[in-house]
Structure 1
Amino acid sequence: MEFYLSEGGIRAVLPYGELDISGNEEFGYRPFQLMMASVAGCSGSVFRKVLDKKRIEIDDMKISAEVERDAEQANKITAIHLHVVVKGVNLDPDQLEKSLEIARKNCSMVRTIEDSVKITERLEIISLSS
């Protein structure tokens, strides 16, 4: 990865494209937003892979993320709360909960920060009619 000075922040040049990073949302994504996106994106991707391997079919998934920060410690992220909403037909709550636990154990972003940031997950299941 390469990073360059840009107007109001830093620009990352990545294989998929360019990413502008700034403490000011007018010039790019804020670093804490990227941290949350990394955790939610990794968790969701691994969760989906686990479901695929277990042949658990879902129709949709949405992840909402909330952050807690400590203003007295340079706005350090202290907690990230993930709310995972899964929609599908005939979903088994126990299988989904176990799959989410497996995903947590295999998400590199969660594993990297779990000793310094409290990460919680809440699963909501919306059953659709067949």
Structure 2
Amino acid sequence: MATNIVKTTWKENMQFESDNPSGLNLTMDAGEESGGEGKGYRPKALMLASLAGCSGLDVVSLLTKMRAEVADFKIDITAELTDEHPKFYNKVKVDYHFTDADLKPEKIQKAVNLSVTKYCGVMEMFRQFAEVEIEIHLHTIAN
């Protein structure tokens, strides 16, 4: 079984720095409305970025293997927090946007479905506490 270790250190005020198994560091900070200075990522928003990154890596890898590369690919995530503490995401919508002159809709659908249902561990974690909705958007560009 694989184990990841992340060390997080308080820097000042509401700011923390975390390392990563990749060797890169990131800074987290609260917004001014919560006593921070807004000089870093917000922890809950990082969760959404992790979801997009995990699924995005899967989809790009799968599309490459299927020979269905696209000119542009982006993921937009909209998430709703509960009103009561501890606040958590209870509804999450993941919009996959693909752009190309020669889109392959069946392969794109298959790649997204495999990521969502089989490969993306972050997606599976989100499903444990949130209602997750997926939508695929295809944008064709002229040759």
Assess same fold via TM > 0.5: yes
How many residues in Structure 1 have an aligned counterpart in Structure 2?
Answer: 130
Letter in 2 for 1:20: T
Give the Cα separation in 1 of the matches to 2:131 and 2:16.
Answer: 28
* Relative contact order higher in (CA < 8 Å, ≥ 6 apart): 1
Give the Cα separation in 1 of the matches to 2:45 and 2:87.
Answer: 13
How far has the Cα of 1:21 moved from its partner? 1.5
Kindly report structure 1 stretches of 4+ aligned residues shifted beyond 6 Å.
none
Give the Cα separation in 1 of the matches to 2:42 and 2:111.
Answer: 31
- Partner of residue 142, structure 2: 129
Provide the secondary structure at the position in 1 that maps to 2:25. strand
- List runs of 5+ in structure 2 lacking aligned partners: 1-5, 32-36
Q: Please, which of 102, 112, 128 is the counterpart of residue 115 of structure 1?
A: 128
- Partner of residue 52, structure 1: 64
How far has the Cα of 1:16 moved from its partner? 4.1
How far has the Cα of 1:129 moved from its partner? 2.4
- Partner of residue 9, structure 1: 15
Letter in 2 for 1:97: Q
Q: Please, which of 30, 33, 36 is the counterpart of residue 23 of structure 1?
A: 30
| Identity in percent | 23
Q: 1:99 to 1:13 in 2, by over 3 A?
A: closer
- List runs of 5+ in structure 1 lacking aligned partners: none
Provide the secondary structure at the position in 2 that maps to 1:20. strand
Provide the secondary structure at the position in 1 that maps to 2:54. helix
How far has the Cα of 1:31 moved from its partner? 1.0
CA deviations on 1:92-117 (whole Å, 9 max, x unpaired) are 32221121101112111111221211
Letter in 2 for 1:47: V
CA deviations on 1:55-108 (whole Å, 9 max, x unpaired) are 102101111111111011422111221111101122132221121101112111
Of the structure 1 ranges 19-28 and 52-61, higher mean CA displacement relative to structure 2 is found in 19-28
